Structure 1
Amino acid sequence: MQKHWKQWAAVGCALPVFWLCPLHAAAEAQTNGEESSDSGISIDTSGDEKYDVFTYRPNADGGLTITSCDTSASSAEIPGEIEGKTVTAIGDAAFMSCSMLTSVTIPDSVTTIGESAFSSCSVLGNVTLPDGVLTLGDGAFESCTALQTVTLPDSLEKIPQAAFYQCEQLSSVQIPDSITEIGNEAFYSCTRLSVVTLPEHLTSIGEYAFQNCQLLTEAAIPASCTAIGNYAFDGCQALRAFSVAEGNTSFSAPDGVLYTADGETLIRYPEAREETGYVVADTCKTLADWSFIGSMTLEQLDLGNVTQIGEDCFYYCTALKEITIPEGVTELPGAVFGYCLALQKVELPSSMKALGDHCFYACTKLESITIPEGVSKLGDQCFYNCVALLDLTLPSTITEVGDQALGYYVSAENSQTERIGKLRVHNAGSNAVQKYLRHWKSGVYRGWIIAGVIILVAAGAVTAFVLVHRSRNRIRPASRQTAPAKGNAAKKRRKESKKS
């Protein structure tokens, strides 16, 4: 899954009118006797029987399914039997948005709880699932923001996708030994979750499973676990160390850092690891996407024999001061050093070919970087907000210079893009760089108005002085949001996956 989180902050300010269409759809569904929600689930309950605050209908196993509950109910005791028939299931979205519901009692006869069954029950505090529950639907307790405790039965084998997504008050979870799989986003943004015991028969942990669990301090991977999804422990700001049980053939955790078992890939560096320096294992060749993101105490880093660095690898490593990229690395993809606010010096290898989009975004103290011959690309906003980088020599091999790649910053006063004063760019003959500078001189650069540019050509080099009004060279710090997409994004993804 590719990262999308950087785009979402801006999207919310410019949503077109057609995003309001779901409101019309919901109103139409209610008119037709349907239960509808932003999860994409639409349940027609108009023909169902009523019992107390519930509606119900027969199901395929000969029992009954609870299909809805009065949204004004403050408590709900689901009956085990209605008119001589056993209640065996709670349907999709049956209790969704019951915003007054503080407690619910589920009978032992229930074996199935549907998708989004209790989603957005915002004051529901405690839940016990009976021993007979075999299936829990995606997003079953999503956005139950007051949920503090949940008891899971030994009969359950899987915690599904987004089961406890954004259950912000959930502080601890005892996962039964029967669980073999934890789905994508299962505990995403459970911001008070501090203790999780992973069962010894667990085989897989999904993408974003514990992302943004800000109080989680340790992660003990059992020997049986052979798969950990991307970004599973990202945003765990209190995580001090990983441990991996003896006998695990897929992972290892030397010195508390998570690697593949062969040591060739560093998967995740714990954000709260207290040491200010770290030496990557000699066996390591690859740093995974996001692997050091948010490590705010890390000042010095020896990358050893690494030859591949993943996207956004060091994003928001705000204490990192200098770094040498090893020979063999050919690309710095994505915002590898985005918001490394203390970074002053970078040494690139002769093997380097490309600097990706937002590569050094907001490295406000970066003063020195030598870009070697052989580099062909500077991505979009590659050096955007690098307000201290005032003298830069570019190689003749550059064939692509992205939008606002250098010479721009965002003003702290008005949040508008402005030009960096007295930036000097030296170039030994790259047509792409000269074209970039000619656009400066012409006063128009891909839609941005630019003035006061002087181009000097001397000794085969092009030097650009960008003269602009100097306002305070301060950058608004990034938020600590490293989530892929919040709010209803998980619901949207599940809806889209069903369509496909």
Structure 2
Amino acid sequence: MKQLDRYSMMIVMKYFNDIKDFYNGIIICKKFKEIPLMFHFNPIPYNKKVDKLFPNIQTQYVFSYFDETKENIEKRIAWFSYSYSNYLLNQDNFIHFTKIILSTSTLLKNEILPEIITDLADNCFQGTNFHSIILNSRITSIGNSCFSSSKIISLSLPPYLREIPYRSLYNCFYLQSILLPQELIFIGEQCFTSCSRLTSITLSNWITSLETETFNRCSSLIFISLPSKLQRIEDSCFSYCTSLKELTLPSTITYIGAFSFSHCSSLRQIKLPPLLEVIKDYSFSFCSSLSQLTFPINLKYISPGSFSCCYALHILNIPNSLTFIHPTAFNFCYSKILDDPFKKNNKHSRKIMNSICSAIQ
């Protein structure tokens, strides 16, 4: 600590939580004694003891509803969450609120969000009749089911938003287009479930996992650009995306969950990522247009029903790494897989091929 200069020590003290920490800090070294005089705001909740330690306060930082108020102050900045409804009732020009939460869309006069709002609560726009909502650039968080079951047609999410939580746009049947932030890192479960008119979407490259049923029943989805760093696709993520014809899976993917592409009836061909070792239960079941499949070189296990009812499937490229195919993996693949994927006529190859043949019969 003694090696720090006065300015650096002041930066450290900004993270102190108790007045005792400040007193202990300034007695470390003589050069730190004047640091409290350098503060023009209170770094901890205000009271008379704090006022005595920091005599040059010009701006009071308010950390909760219960903080004492300093008299004859130039400005106050509130660092706690404050509801928009309370803000409308108690507007104060001397207080700047850093975090104002909108709890319900009924408080709005129109579809344009006021600049003062920074956060949207759970269910905020749920079931609203707004066809479009213009969000300000200050929005940093939205709650669960925020826009669910609304009549919104298009939406552009603000640039500083990092997460879209659980069911945010669930059952938005009218949604046709959405623009996501470039630095988005997380999309929650069932976020776009049953957005049946959504035709295309581009995901941020910072997303590493797509959660359960994220795009389930997006029946008009034709194009999706997957993140280059994507590692996991969870259960039923793209199930019933009946218009999806082609999909490029990033080479970084290591896990594809059960039912993840089930009932993607227009999907014609797909190249599975090289790091994939297991194909989970019913992952590609009822992909009735799927005709060609390239398995990864490290694939070891194909689970029950993985490709059941893939009626058009007739070309398989299977690696020697494969050790087990469940007897039901290719159930009801009526076109029969005639191309023997194994060049070498050895016991291992014959055993795997027999499993495929028994499954499709």
Note whether the superposition's TM-score is higher than 0.5.
Answer: yes
Q: Normalized against structure 2, the TM-score is what?
A: 0.57
Q: In the alignment, what sits opposite 1:272?
A: 266
1:65 is the counterpart of 2:83: yes
Secondary structure at the aligned position of 1:167 is classed as coil
Q: Is the CA contact (8 Å cut-off) linking 2:246 and 2:268 kept in structure 1?
A: no
| 1:271–1:103 CA distance, 2 compared to 1 (3 A) | farther
Q: Is the CA contact (8 Å cut-off) linking 1:322 and 1:344 kept in structure 2?
A: no
1:149 to 151, 154, 161: 154
Q: In the alignment, what sits opposite 1:288?
A: 280
Instruction: Give the whole-Å Cα distance in 2 for the aligned partners of 1:281 and 1:204.
Output: 15
- Structure 1: give runs of 5+ residues left out of the alignment: 1-57, 68-78, 245-250, 253-258, 356-368, 372-388, 390-500
1:161 to 155, 158, 166: 166
Instruction: Give the whole-Å Cα distance in 2 for the aligned partners of 1:64 and 1:84.
Output: 11
Q: Normalized against structure 1, the TM-score is what?
A: 0.43
Q: In the alignment, what sits opposite 1:237?
A: 242
Instruction: Give the whole-Å Cα distance in 2 for the aligned partners of 1:84 and 1:313.
Output: 59
Instruction: Give the whole-Å Cα distance in 2 for the aligned partners of 1:81 and 1:107.
Output: 12
How much has 1:163 moved relative to structure 2? 0.6
How much has 1:105 moved relative to structure 2? 3.4
Secondary structure at the aligned position of 1:219 is classed as strand
How much has 1:220 moved relative to structure 2? 2.0
Q: In the alignment, what sits opposite 2:307?
A: 314
How much has 1:193 moved relative to structure 2? 0.9
Structure 2 matches for 1:85-164, cutoff 5 A?
A: 85=92, 88-91=100-103, 94-95=104-105, 103-121=110-128, 123-144=129-150, 146-164=151-169
Secondary structure at the aligned position of 1:173 is classed as strand
1:329 to 297, 317, 324: 324
Q: In the alignment, what sits opposite 2:176?
A: 171
Q: Is the CA contact (8 Å cut-off) linking 1:166 and 1:187 kept in structure 2?
A: yes
Query: Higher Cα Rg: structure 1 or 2?
Result: 2
Secondary structure at the aligned position of 1:150 is classed as strand
AA of the residue aligned to 1:193: L
Q: Is the CA contact (8 Å cut-off) linking 1:113 and 1:140 kept in structure 2?
A: yes
- Structure 2: give runs of 5+ residues left out of the alignment: 1-64, 67-77, 341-348
Q: Is the CA contact (8 Å cut-off) linking 1:235 and 1:294 kept in structure 2?
A: no
Q: Is the CA contact (8 Å cut-off) linking 2:323 and 2:352 kept in structure 1?
A: yes
Q: Is the CA contact (8 Å cut-off) linking 1:152 and 1:175 kept in structure 2?
A: yes
Instruction: Give the whole-Å Cα distance in 1 for the aligned partners of 2:101 and 2:274.
Output: 54
Count of matched residue pairs: 263
Q: Is the CA contact (8 Å cut-off) linking 1:219 and 1:241 kept in structure 2?
A: no
Instruction: Give the whole-Å Cα distance in 2 for the aligned partners of 1:304 and 1:226.
Output: 15
| 1:104–1:160 CA distance, 2 compared to 1 (3 A) | same
Instruction: Give the whole-Å Cα distance in 2 for the aligned partners of 1:102 and 1:110.
Output: 14
Aligned-residue identity in percent:
20
How much has 1:212 moved relative to structure 2? 1.8
1:213 is the counterpart of 2:218: yes
Q: In the alignment, what sits opposite 2:69?
A: none
Instruction: Give the whole-Å Cα distance in 2 for the aligned partners of 1:178 and 1:127.
Output: 21
| 1:221–1:84 CA distance, 2 compared to 1 (3 A) | same
| 1:345–1:150 CA distance, 2 compared to 1 (3 A) | closer
2:195 to 190, 193, 197: 190
Q: Is the CA contact (8 Å cut-off) linking 1:212 and 1:236 kept in structure 2?
A: yes
Q: Is the CA contact (8 Å cut-off) linking 2:102 and 2:124 kept in structure 1?
A: yes
1:84 is the counterpart of 2:83: no
Greater share of helix residues, 1 or 2?
Answer: 2
How much has 1:164 moved relative to structure 2? 0.5
| 1:66–1:218 CA distance, 2 compared to 1 (3 A) | same
Q: Is the CA contact (8 Å cut-off) linking 2:122 and 2:143 kept in structure 1?
A: yes
Secondary structure at the aligned position of 1:177 is classed as coil
How much has 1:202 moved relative to structure 2? 3.3
Deviations 1:100-140 (A, max 9, x none): x995332111112111222233x331112211111111111
Q: Is the CA contact (8 Å cut-off) linking 1:171 and 1:193 kept in structure 2?
A: yes
